[in-house]
């Protein structure tokens, strides 16, 4: 008899832990929201292992992160939404769709052309969603990201459509302009919301 595949074993273990009859009480009381902090923590621990170039730690942290995926998928399956196999199928479909130069007939000259095509495909995907959200160039940037990380990602998106400066000197000019506006809002005892907006503009161009 062939031994059980490790991923199948992991899925079976998770199902047992969530078994209403003889599962683990702690695992049974968890929800998507209560597990979310652990998911984020594990992602950061993966990042830390990569920064340290510690491959043994990376293996362990990736396994912890994989557990989070399986945990969420199991809860979704219990709710009749989707199962782990659907998660895997979704990423397989996405990778094939976003690499037409590998899995299709498209010919792309270099990494830059591949990046452009990748963004075009993502834009088409966003346009086809039924979430009701905007599908413009800034759509799809998770609101749950840490503020500075989200700001940086939004800036990179904007730069792709030319919303950026060609010369560093222009950046300094803009920084001085926004700094002056920040000072003005403080001197005029303006509305706190306006101050926040001006500080945000300064951060954006910095």
Query: What pLDDT, on the 0 to 100 scale, is given for residue 132?
Result: 47
- 57 within a domain of the structure (yes/no): yes
How big is the chain by its Cα radius of gyration, in Å?
Answer: 23
- 123 within a domain of the structure (yes/no): no
What's the pLDDT tens digit per position in 138-180?
666 677 777 777 777 777 766 666 666 667 777 777 788 888 8
Domain termination residue (choose one: 53, 83, 113) = 83
Query: What is the torsional sign of CA 73, 152, 41, 26?
Result: negative
SS3 category, 22 = coil
- 142 within a domain of the structure (yes/no): no
- 197 within a domain of the structure (yes/no): yes
Domain termination residue (choose one: 37, 60, 83) = 83
Structural tokens at position 158: 């904007």
Share of the chain above pLDDT 90, in %: 45
DSSP states of 136-168 as a string?
A: STTTT--TTS-HHHHHHHHHHHHHHTT-S-SSH
- 3 within a domain of the structure (yes/no): yes
User: d(Cα 177, Cα 135) in Å, to the nearest integer?
Assistant: 31
Domain termination residue (choose one: 16, 50, 83) = 83
Listed range (42-46, 54-58, 146-150) with the worst mean pLDDT: 146-150
Q: Which of 53-57, 114-118, 161-165, 188-192 has the highest mean pLDDT?
A: 53-57
Angle between helices 6-17 and 55-78 (to 10 degrees): 50
Residue 85, pLDDT above cutoff 60: yes
Instruction: Print the domain residue range for 178.
Output: 168-205
- 143 within a domain of the structure (yes/no): no
Residue 49, pLDDT above cutoff 60: yes
CB 67 within 8 A of CB 46: no
- 97 within a domain of the structure (yes/no): no
User: d(Cα 126, Cα 122) in Å, to the nearest integer?
Assistant: 6
Give Dmax over CA atoms of the chain in angstroms: 79
Tally the domains of the chain. Answer: 2
- 44 within a domain of the structure (yes/no): yes
- CATH code for the domain of 15: 1.10.287.1080
Query: What pLDDT, on the 0 to 100 scale, is given for residue 143?
Result: 74
What's the pLDDT tens digit per position in 6-40?
999 999 999 999 999 999 999 999 999 999 999 99
Predicted TM-score of the model (pTM) = 0.70
């Amino acid at each position: 008899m062939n031994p059980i595949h490790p991923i199948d074993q992991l899925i079976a273990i998770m199902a047992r832990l969530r078994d209403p009859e003889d599962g683990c009480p702690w695992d049974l009381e968890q929800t998507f929201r209560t597990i979310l902090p652990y998911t984020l923590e594990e992602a950061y621990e993966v990042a830390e292992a990569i920064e340290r170039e510690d491959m043994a730690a990376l293996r362990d942290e990736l396994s912890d992160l994989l557990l989070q995926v399986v945990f969420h998928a199991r809860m979704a399956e219990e709710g009749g939404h989707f199962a782990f196999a659907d998660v895997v199928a979704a990423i397989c479909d996405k990778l094939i769709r976003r690499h037409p130069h590998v899995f299709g007939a498209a010919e792309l000259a270099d990494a830059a052309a591949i990046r452009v095509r990748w963004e075009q495909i993502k834009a088409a995907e966003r346009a086809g969603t039924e979430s009701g959200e905007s599908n413009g160039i800034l759509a799809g940037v998770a609101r749950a990201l840490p503020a500075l990380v989200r700001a940086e990602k939004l800036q990179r998106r904007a730069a792709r459509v030319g919303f950026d400066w060609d010369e560093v000197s222009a950046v300094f000019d803009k920084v001085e302009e926004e700094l002056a506006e920040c000072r003005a809002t403080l001197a005029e005892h303006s509305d706190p919301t306006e101050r926040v907006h001006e500080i945000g503009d300064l951060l954006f161009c910095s």
